[in-house]
Structure 1
């Protein structure tokens, strides 16, 4: 063979990917490069419009979520944990009116804020005043909304107004009523010609202008349209959800991404339990050297009749002896003598195995992450927890709870508060220095407020309080900031401390609010100063 032909042969071998080349495919470097096993090619995916995907899956996801929550103590506890982390007992109203340019002094603003807080407490904690059905307080209605958010992915309700005549008949004062309506009553109808998508009407800019609810009127189910806002821009329909896309119209259950994992966990638990029960039932094994049926048939075939009779008599004596004893493995333990050649053994259950806990924990972690709570609070498993791990858990999850509060619970209360404040001013139960027309023109300046929730959990209260003291001493924080983080109304705290301090000092007792390394708090006109003033006069 010529040298040129040999070179060409090697080249062809290299191109064909034989042993000479060392590789079977051409090397590539690109995004989403698949592995040799084709794991990416096995996943059939496509790009879909998120709101269309929500519309397609909404009812099924809600049905699964409701069923799992109702039949799982772990998920029920997770929902309770979401409520506790988000609102605690209640979200505390902190009015922040900006009234300086309307002629209000700081003292007048403080007096107005104090009056608003008192009236709001009376309204929010009286079911007959705040609830259209007269059953639940406003904090309870917020809890209901958050439970709907877990199952349906959204909160819906209607702000209605009760006429004065009906209020007088019922003996109540406030006309504004909150009527919480399940998201399942917001229809799934879609009509592009009417700009109706999944029960929500939109204008040409994509803003919601109306909602279509299913209601029973005289026993007949009808579809009723409600406007999103009234003529003065006040909300009529409450519709809150956490969007994924800018074009989203409805929310979807928080559990939608964890439904498959939770179902797998239930299957794992059921299979593990059934296997363990089966192994426990058949855990007692009795072995015997006594011959079987085939052995007795072989004895009948012996030619020596005398030997056969003796051997059968021997076996009969052993069985008679065994018949006299009993084996008790029920609730009444008994100790008996076994027959000759018999052995009773107890087998231990081999289920669950050593792989059960790691795999079950992995499934629980994924579900807890989808819900937005810590794994420890979801599974109640603190076996491997340390101080550092608990702090990192709280540091990671707590911002999610605060975000949930600011996106869902606070906007719901703010909408109710704005309409309530409008009614209180319009009916003269809260007096302002300005007319109602001026208030209506500056409604946002009067109704701006913040909502304080519970404090973040701590792994070590002593260390956390030392950190607060250091921040205050270094000037990197304030009482208002630290009180807000703890869910404390700092104005109420100050007034309460001032009253208690003056009471202790007036009765000649040491005030608990005197700092050990600081001079005592000043007292208005102490007795010694009064005597000196009289003597000087």
Structure 2
């Protein structure tokens, strides 16, 4: 006969059950208090304190200041390359006309962006400089804000040709006021749908501080205020410094470094120890008590004892111990010994502990450990490549989310001015441009080239992808921090110049430089011209 299936029995200790948040016997989860609040409320609660502490650390830490410069170098480089991508075919432009229109626009933009008198409201900074400042604002405040405005001809400085100006403001000027009645939350005014319609800044005008509202968009719906930040939640209104998550561990590491340095300093100075078998102060106090007790011969014994040590001290007074220039020990008193202690700081675990702190800070900032600490003692080619592979997408994302608005928003307002004033002709006229403005202004910004530990291997990889059809020149050039259109125009110009001068063009090749060495080209056979 078949036996009935028996349900397995598992013994479970009383008071335990499977599920989320099941604590350990030590109560490690229960010991950590936590509450759930709206993320934007949490930002508003700590924004001022976090910004002040982040700014203090950036101003007083060479390591963090260097990390900030490294982030700017990874995100912006020298400048962001503007790459307009309008589709002008539906407006009657053929490919040649489209290329010519974009080329002219980019050439004029270069002059505008690198002329503070033209692009900056204060006439101080270039667009690349304001982009750098904006990234620093993001590091300290978690956001960057600016205003695009048009300055009429009567208010322009002499020699100024354009009226479009970009004013970069400090995020601390964006007020912290909140008023649900008017839709104001931490300085940003929203409509009933939650859309930002104005930003309230506190400014100093004519010696008085006053609050001013700047509309988020103008009457035609064009963006006027730039507010670049990286939201954590969909309800976020303001940003917060990325340094916030590093405060605890960074300050702990700083305290460890300070304590270690002070300990080494003290041990370096006081490592020489004078050992003596002479009695301490308590022994001399005991002799005084013998005198007061009045025992037979106690006073004489105490006096003889003091006279003995007085003679030794007189002898020792003639000797000296010198530290510094001309260091030496001429003579020690009887019973004394000179001992030199070895420095015991830092301890054997100091490097590992500091390394853990530094890795956490570097990870939160989105840079490599080597880029943050400049410690490459244990770095290998593989580890360097893996570091770059993990942080490079973060740098590209930071370029798109944080740095690019400092270029794209002024660029859009500048193109508006050029087309509506007739400086840049457009087929169909102003009305067609206004109706298709977003499509015509579509552009991308590319940052610096991807870092690599071996330029030769990187170049071979790019060539292999192009030959196999898995990559494009546009993709490879953009990853290298260049502009595909500018690279093409430059190569065409120099190719024709070499040919016209009767010289062989360096661009007439179809294979890598070391193809023959790799056996790709038969010996004695010329390489195929491009």
**TM-score normalised by the chain length of structure 1:** 0.87
Residue 86 (structure 1) shift: 0.6
Q: Select which of 321, 340, 359 maps to 1:365.
A: 359
Residue 45 (structure 1) shift: 1.3
SS at match of 1:514: coil
1:257 matched to 2:266? The reply is: no
Q: Select which of 157, 169, 173 maps to 1:181.
A: 169
Using a 3 Å threshold, how does the CA distance of structure 1 residues 314 and 151 change in structure 2: closer, same or farther? closer
Q: Deviations over 1:2-23 (max 9, x none)?
A: xxxxxxxxxxxxxxxxxxxx98
Q: Select which of 394, 397, 410 maps to 1:400.
A: 394
Checking the alignment, whether the CA contact within 8 Å between 1:131 and 1:179 is kept in structure 2 is yes
1:465 matched to 2:451? The reply is: no
Q: Deviations over 1:98-146 (max 9, x none)?
A: 0101110111111111101110000000011111111110110011111
SS at match of 2:226: strand
Aligned twin of 2:62 = 73
Distance 2:176 2:306 in 1: 82
Q: Deviations over 1:299-353 (max 9, x none)?
A: 9999799999999998677555543332111233235243444321111221211
Residue 408 (structure 1) shift: 1.5
Q: Deviations over 1:414-460 (max 9, x none)?
A: 11111100101112221223311111111122211111110110011
Mapping 1:116-131, distance limit 5 Å: 116-131=105-120
SS at match of 1:238: strand
Q: Select which of 411, 417, 423 maps to 2:405.
A: 411
Using a 3 Å threshold, how does the CA distance of structure 1 residues 157 and 342 change in structure 2: closer, same or farther? same
Aligned twin of 1:355 = 349
Moved more, 395-404 or 490-499: 490-499
Aligned twin of 2:142 = 153
SS at match of 2:149: strand
Aligned twin of 1:273 = 261
Checking the alignment, whether the CA contact within 8 Å between 1:203 and 1:209 is kept in structure 2 is yes
Residue 209 (structure 1) shift: 0.8
SS at match of 2:198: strand
Using a 3 Å threshold, how does the CA distance of structure 1 residues 340 and 200 change in structure 2: closer, same or farther? same
Distance 1:402 1:23 in 2: 51
Unaligned runs of at least 5 residues, structure 1:
1-21, 522-537
Aligned twin of 1:209 = 197
Distance 1:45 1:476 in 2: 49
Using a 3 Å threshold, how does the CA distance of structure 1 residues 27 and 289 change in structure 2: closer, same or farther? closer
Q: Select which of 493, 500, 518 maps to 1:499.
A: 493
Distance 1:303 1:184 in 2: 83
Aligned twin of 1:5 = none
1:518 matched to 2:507? The reply is: no
Distance 1:87 1:326 in 2: 63
Distance 1:304 1:495 in 2: 108
Residue 24 (structure 1) shift: 6.5
- Aligned positions, number: 500
1:383 matched to 2:367? The reply is: no
Q: Deviations over 1:175-199 (max 9, x none)?
A: 0111111111111111111111111
SS at match of 2:444: strand
SS at match of 1:141: helix
Aligned twin of 2:522 = none
Residue 152 (structure 1) shift: 0.8
Q: Select which of 426, 439, 443 maps to 2:437.
A: 443
Distance 1:273 1:380 in 2: 19
Using a 3 Å threshold, how does the CA distance of structure 1 residues 305 and 189 change in structure 2: closer, same or farther? closer
Unaligned runs of at least 5 residues, structure 2:
1-10, 512-525
Checking the alignment, whether the CA contact within 8 Å between 2:127 and 2:406 is kept in structure 1 is no
Distance 2:26 2:310 in 1: 66
Q: Deviations over 1:264-301 (max 9, x none)?
A: 12222222222222333321111234566748959999
1:489 matched to 2:483? The reply is: yes
Residue 240 (structure 1) shift: 1.4
SS at match of 2:404: helix
Q: Deviations over 1:149-168 (max 9, x none)?
A: 1111111111111111222x
Checking the alignment, whether the CA contact within 8 Å between 1:302 and 1:308 is kept in structure 2 is no
**TM-score normalised by the chain length of structure 2:** 0.88
1:53 matched to 2:34? The reply is: no
Aligned twin of 1:530 = none
